[in-house]
Amino acid sequence: MERIIMLADCQSFYASVEKAAHPEYQNQPVAVAGDPERRSGIILAACPIAKQHGVTTAETLGEALGKCPQLVIVKPRMQAYIDVSLMITEIYESFTDLVEPFSIDEQFLDVTGSVAYFGSAEEIARRIQNKIMLYTGVWSRIGISSTKVLAKMATDIWAKKSESGIFTLPKSAVETQLWPQPVSKMFGVGSRMTAHFQRLGIFTIGDLARMPLVELKRKMRVLMGRNSDIQAELYWQTANGIDGSPVKPSTHNGQQAVGHQMTLPRDFSSRAEIDVVLLELSEEVSRRCRAKGYMGQVVAAGAQGADFDKPTGFFRQTTLADPTNITREVFEAARKLFDTHWDQMPVRKLGVTLSKLSSDDQYQLTLFGNRERVRRLERMTDQIKYRYGNTAILRASSLLDAAQARERSVKIGGHYK
């Protein structure tokens, strides 16, 4: 039996949540942006009315206000968006237990076994739309097909532009409906890859799909290097609608690493300032590992400069003698990586990652030092933070000017909660 897969996408998600929370904004152009008080930052989401005025996601707030002076700017509330996203997930799960998050506002659903109970795929999609609108005030668009990749393109290319917000792309219609589309509209193809394809004489999805795979690999090797074979096959399969991956609710549960990175408010040139942030990152990564019962044996650290035209920085890793989730041990490993690889250029982004994870219910004792005492102390500080907030107890270094912990404690994903 052919699968019935949906990709449900929430329209202008952050802006839609804000308009639902503020009925007075209903007929006004609304955008969610970084810092309305300072009139700075970028547009994170714009409602359809704002988009009609030319406002686009990722442009600066100044550019958006130049196009639409009457634009209502709302400060992001990330926790509210997460709460609404979880509520929408529960709605999906009332129709099928096969729900796989793709992003905060997009999720895959396999409703193959649900049509016997709720009607056709289109009827299920309409019921989902109505229920989400009733419970959250957010409009959703739904693409339907037999594979995840086709459902995604059905949403992006057609459902988002359809008045009903629903579009079905059967596998039998790939050649007639999908192939004539510009290659830039294919899932996974950005502006840079579009330019590469056009150099190869590939202008439509059909051009890519009809090209023999061997020939595509040969051409991409010439253009992009010999390591492009896997990428070529992925693009070729996408163009032909081939995707055997199932909708798996557990897709994101098998954690391979725990990492945290931070964009700094300014360039950091001093090693003392960098060490302050590295310690905070190491503590956050270690705390998250402890909360999940993990230790890691591979520590990675990286930095990136602010000039993207002349990129500087590094990302390197080192293997520890024994797995750990102790903050000081992770920090010392990250610090040694900086000693070896930092080019002394100013940095704007820092990151620390702990990988090669294992359970922390068994660990290596040492003859020197008292790791168990340190573990007990860190568990106690974790409990204090869990109960009273991340700033209830801080290291003295987190009170320095370079520290970011207090500022980050009121944010989720770099945006205010």
Binding residues for Mg(2+): 9, 105
| Residue in 18, 100, 106, 280 annotated catalytic | 106
Per-position DSSP letters for 244-270, written without gaps between them: -----TTTTTS--EEEEEEEEEEEE--
Alpha-carbon gap, residue 83 to 106, rounded angstroms: 14
Q: Give me 128's structure tokens.
A: 């989902």
Q: Give me 103's structure tokens.
A: 């992003």
Whether 351 and 281 have beta carbons less than 8 Å apart is answered as yes
Q: Give me 145's structure tokens.
A: 């097909």
Phi and psi at 215, nearest 5°, equal -70, -40
Asked whether the CA dihedral 31, 33, 36, 42 is positive or negative, the reply is: negative
Closest by CA to 128, choosing from 14, 7, 22, is 7
Whole-Å CA distances, 44 to 55, 123, 270, 391: 11, 32, 32, 27
**Cβ of 115: how many Cβ atoms within 10 Å?**
13
Q: Give me 169's structure tokens.
A: 């792309």
Alpha helix locations (H) across 147-252? 148-153, 191-199, 205-210, 213-224, 229-239
Whether 197 and 203 have beta carbons less than 8 Å apart is answered as yes
Per-position DSSP letters for 33-100, written without gaps between them: EEETTTTEEEEEEE-HHHHHTT--TTSBHHHHHHH-TTPEEE---HHHHHHHHHHHHHHHHTT-S-EE
Closest by CA to 350, choosing from 289, 282, 253, 407, is 282
Q: Is 59 a catalytic residue?
A: no
Closest by CA to 132, choosing from 4, 17, 15, 27, is 17
Contacts of 413 (CB under 8 A, 6+ apart): 78
Q: Which amino acid is at 226?
A: R
Binding residues: 9, 105
Q: Which residues are catalytic?
A: 106
